[in-house]
Chain A
């Protein structure tokens, strides 16, 4: 009866050791791979395609053994795939909500049967994903598909969505993009990473069996991010969305700059995230969960343990005790081992003490290690290395804990531990991260919106909020595609100012001021630009030629007052905005005359625009306390919340049309949700926007909350792009400007909304600013979501 080892019952009776770890079976996954001769093709138009003469790429398991190979797609494959996706979109979006929902549900029940093979394949390729979490995703999104027209009426699918993930992305994150895209009626082209390619192909096949129309889901495999950029170039792609590490996110953003296709990224791998243990915590539970979180086999985030000084000894004692039982983690190669050892050595040299589960073995195994006494400035916190390392820093007070947690370029997630309800609520509010778990390790569920703040993302995944990235307002038109041009990014926006020759009119014309930090002033450089009426004509006046220094001053003032503005009660914000609307009312005549003078519109139409603008601001005032987050139906016991939060400081480069209405719409959107703005009026026609300054001067808004800087568009765009405090830029302008912003705003990431005002042939492309649907569209652009999960009975 004895097993293969020589351990006798008595030996084990004495040592009470664990038996050898059971190796999980991979038989069904292997059988599926074998049926493809372990060389997987592309999945196009509902079937596997195995083009000849393609390079292949190997997928290896955790021990480095070959699992299978995938094909590297070429341009011909992309074309074939894109045309299949277009057909797929027609078929799929033509179905009813019920029919689409049914397909997702059918796949969920198919997974009940074949979930084993998907889970095994994920395991084998190192992209672990349990089949129960996939079933949950499918069930959640089948509901979203069923209720699309009821829940998000007046929004319509985008068309062909390209989902890209990096090699280290989990299969769950990939599906968190693919399934909502499909549920909303888009067709999807997936460019998976190395480890997610085989499960993505298998799932595409199972989707077909569940009744998905051919072409609605296609999988293109390749070598690296360059394939994704090549696919994005295809004119049938309406939207590109990405999940994975930050480096590849930047590569993708830069490579797709200027294509005229919106790109959103969720760099959810490799963010630095705090775990905060307050003295009021259940420390035993906290330590257990910390160990489970921080030393997971596959490290998605770099956790930093922040412990209140008063309970440091207590936490350390338990860490020492609990860590003794932890097993070593295997490192991918010797290179990583060198990195880990350097990081540990460096931390030790700076006075950190180590808590390790065992002595460091001389293989590619490394024991879980806590670096106690690390400082926020130590390299192991600033530039975390891979491997099972957990820096531990201490803090004194509750406020300091929040400061410590927020002092990072990342804003992915945080765990907080306290039994004090008030403290927990106050802390989750103050942390600028997308997900907060109270007294729990990270839990995920598709009903929770996941939206990285700061450098951790430019879109929201999951939840109802995450559906909007795959939709556009039905009344909006599809943005024109463009081709990237050879643009010298270093020279963009550096033209010398135009020379103004004084003539006989000098001195009689008005010199306008712009509005920075609550003051009407000239530009820092003192230079001006001329303003002429639309369609040409005599000079109307001069306005300041703003530049980088003006933007800097504005942002400095804005970031000082924005947190206070955000914390103001929604009714108070509403009152402020209403008083702005009243200010506009008082200046009706002046505003209409300004619009007339600037655009040459008939007085009647100008008056209409003023009235619409006043009504629009009143709309925004009402939005303040009417639209908010809510509680989420989390499946486990507990309370889930989603909360819309301000982005911070938003840069707006205003359009050349509906000069007053567009300015007021965008200003209101930003202010209503708690942001501060730096607005750049249309360089040609700045007067209506400048006319608002008089209203702002007499308003009681905090100085610096609204800034209006005139000047040349490219110069100011460059200035906005290069200020890290600005979290979002809404841009109306030319295709070069769009390309510049997409290429430049990657570090830190800015949320970009780019609108190219001219199409390929140079014709002006406008939008209808009078429709009420712009309200919801821009409100959604002006917030970022935070989700909170508090496990309770």
Chain B
């Protein structure tokens, strides 16, 4: 991965000056959704790019070593070899960005990937996912244990109580401690935007998370009622842009929850390209948190290669 975000001092003056006009953001989101999507080989290339940015995720109570193993295998060969070969992409390292599991399944995932000779990163959610309502001490321990098990990316959730009551300093301190606990593992901070109330709050939480040294900011856990929406994403990537303008550090962005279709993944790429530019269109700075998205993208690529629409059972299972 590229240079990490070292974070900055907490700048409360900057946080307090934040202005977000809701209607203008909604209009911008409408505009981006109205843009023409790429077609033909552009579509295929963009979809492959989307695959490389996917954090292929399973976060269920009934996860066991066997379905985690299947997930890992799918992650290292997300598109059938022969289809990739027809596009001359078979040797370009098309894998998903990472696999993402609960802390207790990290060891299984690391084992499966090692067995397959893959150095695909394993990401783990932590810190009392999804609610974050456990004592700080246990949340920190959770992070340390996941890292010890071999996770190289940790998705932490912020304490919404602190954000909603405007205790930015306390939130900054917590995230700083998580970052320390992560060590060399990259930290993705989940803002749970569905529970932050206003766009201005989303913007402020994004800024504080970045100041505290997050390598990524992530929209949601996928467990809230509101997931990744384009307007919220615009607010967050603008915060990323402003942080970059001010500090020169590039922070990544990860929308998660409810992203299911190939078309949606293209809109996400468009949004990033429009708002942040091509620099951010890499797995180092952009991830899509998803589980069922891959199957739809695969179908579209199947269609691009063969001219036929596939039935789901024709595609290898995850």
B281 at the interface (CB under 8 A from A): yes
Q: Give the chain A neighbours of B48 by CB distance below 8 A.
A: 9, 13
Question: Would you call B38 and A19 a contact (CB within 8 A)?
Answer: yes
B313 at the interface (CB under 8 A from A): no
B69 at the interface (CB under 8 A from A): no
Question: Would you call A19 and B28 a contact (CB within 8 A)?
Answer: no
Q: Give the chain A neighbours of B111 by CB distance below 8 A.
A: none
A404 at the interface (CB under 8 A from B): no
Q: Which residue of the partner chain A has the closest CB to B84?
A: A9
B19's partner among A282, A292, A325 (CB-CB below 8 A) is: A282
Question: Would you call A793 and B304 a contact (CB within 8 A)?
Answer: no
A16's partner among B39, B40, B273, B307 (CB-CB below 8 A) is: B273
Bitwise interface map of A from 13 to 29 toward B, beta carbon under 8 Å scored 1, else 0: 10111110110000000
Query: How many A residues touch B, CB cutoff 8 Å?
Result: 40
Question: Would you call B277 and A325 a contact (CB within 8 A)?
Answer: yes
B131 at the interface (CB under 8 A from A): no
Q: Report if A7-B41 is in contact (Cβ < 8 Å); known contacts: A1-B307, A16-B278, A288-B28.
A: yes
A419 at the interface (CB under 8 A from B): yes
Question: Would you call A9 and B39 a contact (CB within 8 A)?
Answer: no
A435 to B19, CA, bound (A): 25
Q: Give the chain B neighbours of A791 by CB distance below 8 A.
A: 23-24, 27
B39's partner among A17, A19, A282, A638 (CB-CB below 8 A) is: A19
A509 at the interface (CB under 8 A from B): no
B41's partner among A9, A18, A280, A419 (CB-CB below 8 A) is: A9
A561 to B274, CA, bound (A): 51
Task: Kindly specify which of B2-10, B87-95, B165-173, B179-187 makes contact with the partner chain.
Answer: B87-95
Q: Give the chain B neighbours of A209 by CB distance below 8 A.
A: none
Question: Would you call B40 and A19 a contact (CB within 8 A)?
Answer: yes
Task: Kindly specify which of B58-66, B120-128, B238-246 makes contact with the partner chain.
Answer: B238-246
Within 8 A of A (CB), among B96-138: none
Q: Give the chain B neighbours of A16 by CB distance below 8 A.
A: 45-46, 49, 269, 273, 278, 281
Q: Report if A19-B42 is in contact (Cβ < 8 Å); known contacts: A9-B87, A283-B19, A419-B19.
A: yes
Question: Would you call A321 and B241 a contact (CB within 8 A)?
Answer: yes
Q: Which residue of the partner chain A has the closest CB to B39?
A: A19
Q: Report if A282-B40 is in contact (Cβ < 8 Å); known contacts: A10-B88, A12-B45, A288-B28.
A: no
B16 at the interface (CB under 8 A from A): no
Question: Would you call B44 and A9 a contact (CB within 8 A)?
Answer: yes
Q: State how many angstroms separate the Cβ of A657 from the closest Cβ of chain B.
A: 54
Question: Would you call B41 and A439 a contact (CB within 8 A)?
Answer: no
Interface size class on chain B is 35 or more
A285 to B278, CA, bound (A): 20
Q: Give the chain A neighbours of B281 by CB distance below 8 A.
A: 16
Q: State how many angstroms separate the Cβ of B1 from the closest Cβ of chain A.
A: 19
A492 to B278, CA, bound (A): 68
Q: Give the chain B neighbours of A792 by CB distance below 8 A.
A: 23
Within 8 A of A (CB), among B22-44: 22-25, 27-28, 31, 36, 38-44
Q: Give the chain B neighbours of A285 by CB distance below 8 A.
A: 20-21, 24-25, 28
B318 at the interface (CB under 8 A from A): no
Question: Would you call B23 and A440 a contact (CB within 8 A)?
Answer: yes
Within 8 A of B (CB), among A237-288: 280-286, 288
A35 at the interface (CB under 8 A from B): no
A637 at the interface (CB under 8 A from B): yes
Within 8 A of B (CB), among A17-66: 17-19, 21-22
Q: Report if A22-B36 is in contact (Cβ < 8 Å); known contacts: A10-B88, A285-B28, A324-B277.
A: yes
Q: State how many angstroms separate the Cβ of B300 from the closest Cβ of chain A.
A: 13
Q: Give the chain A neighbours of B269 by CB distance below 8 A.
A: 16
Within 8 A of B (CB), among A636-654: 637-638
A499 at the interface (CB under 8 A from B): no
Question: Would you call B88 and A8 a contact (CB within 8 A)?
Answer: yes
B305 at the interface (CB under 8 A from A): yes
Q: Give the chain A neighbours of B41 by CB distance below 8 A.
A: 1-3, 7-9, 12
Question: Would you call B92 and A13 a contact (CB within 8 A)?
Answer: yes
Bitwise interface map of A from 209 to 240 toward B, beta carbon under 8 Å scored 1, else 0: 00000000000000000000000000000000
A325 to B241, CA, bound (A): 15
Question: Would you call A793 and B23 a contact (CB within 8 A)?
Answer: yes
Question: Would you call A9 and B19 a contact (CB within 8 A)?
Answer: no
Q: Which residue of the partner chain B has the closest CB to A320?
A: B245
A359 at the interface (CB under 8 A from B): no
Q: Which residue of the partner chain B has the closest CB to A317?
A: B245
A22 to B39, CA, bound (A): 9
A440 to B245, CA, bound (A): 24
Q: State how many angstroms separate the Cβ of B198 from the closest Cβ of chain A.
A: 11
Within 8 A of B (CB), among A546-562: none
Q: Which residue of the partner chain B has the closest CB to A3?
A: B40
Q: Which residue of the partner chain B has the closest CB to A791?
A: B23
Q: Give the chain A neighbours of B43 by CB distance below 8 A.
A: 19
Within 8 A of A (CB), among B285-306: 304-305
A440 to B28, CA, bound (A): 11
Q: Give the chain A neighbours of B241 by CB distance below 8 A.
A: 284, 318, 321
Question: Would you call A281 and B19 a contact (CB within 8 A)?
Answer: yes
Q: Give the chain B neighbours of A280 by CB distance below 8 A.
A: 19
Q: State how many angstroms separate the Cβ of B57 from the closest Cβ of chain A.
A: 23
A1's partner among B89, B277, B304 (CB-CB below 8 A) is: B304
Q: Give the chain B neighbours of A3 by CB distance below 8 A.
A: 40-41
Q: State how many angstroms separate the Cβ of A51 from the closest Cβ of chain B.
A: 44
Q: Report if A1-B88 is in contact (Cβ < 8 Å); known contacts: A12-B42, A19-B42, A324-B277.
A: no
Q: State how many angstroms separate the Cβ of B213 from the closest Cβ of chain A.
A: 23
Within 8 A of A (CB), among B151-205: none
Q: Which residue of the partner chain B has the closest CB to A2?
A: B41
Q: Report if A439-B24 is in contact (Cβ < 8 Å); known contacts: A7-B41, A419-B19.
A: yes
A289 at the interface (CB under 8 A from B): yes
B27's partner among A10, A11, A325, A440 (CB-CB below 8 A) is: A440
Question: Would you call A637 and B273 a contact (CB within 8 A)?
Answer: no
A8 to B45, CA, bound (A): 9
Q: Give the chain A neighbours of B304 by CB distance below 8 A.
A: 1
A10's partner among B19, B39, B92 (CB-CB below 8 A) is: B92
Q: State how many angstroms separate the Cβ of A282 from the closest Cβ of chain B.
A: 4
Q: Which residue of the partner chain A has the closest CB to B18?
A: A282
Q: Give the chain A neighbours of B31 by CB distance below 8 A.
A: 292
Q: Give the chain B neighbours of A19 by CB distance below 8 A.
A: 38-40, 42-43
A12's partner among B21, B25, B46 (CB-CB below 8 A) is: B46
Within 8 A of B (CB), among A278-308: 280-286, 288-289, 292
B22's partner among A12, A21, A793 (CB-CB below 8 A) is: A793
Q: Which residue of the partner chain B has the closest CB to A419?
A: B19
Question: Would you call B305 and A1 a contact (CB within 8 A)?
Answer: yes
A286 to B273, CA, bound (A): 19
Question: Would you call B38 and A18 a contact (CB within 8 A)?
Answer: yes
A740 to B231, CA, bound (A): 57
Question: Would you call B49 and A282 a contact (CB within 8 A)?
Answer: no
A595 to B281, CA, bound (A): 85
Q: Report if A13-B49 is in contact (Cβ < 8 Å); known contacts: A1-B307, A8-B88.
A: yes
Q: Give the chain B neighbours of A2 by CB distance below 8 A.
A: 40-41
Q: Give the chain A neighbours of B277 by CB distance below 8 A.
A: 321, 324-325
A292 to B31, CA, bound (A): 10
A sample of 7 cross-chain residue pairs with beta-carbon separation below 8 angstroms, ordered by A number, consists of: A1-B305, A1-B307, A7-B42, A10-B45, A13-B48, A283-B19, A792-B23
Q: A9-B88, A16-B281, A325-B277 are known contacts; what are 16 more A-B pairs with Cβ within 8 Å? A: A1-B305, A10-B87, A10-B92, A13-B48, A19-B38, A19-B39, A19-B40, A19-B43, A282-B21, A282-B24, A284-B238, A321-B277, A325-B274, A419-B19, A791-B24, A792-B23
Please list the 3 inter-chain residue pairs (A to B) with the smallest Cβ-Cβ separation, ordered nearest first.
A285-B24, A12-B45, A19-B42
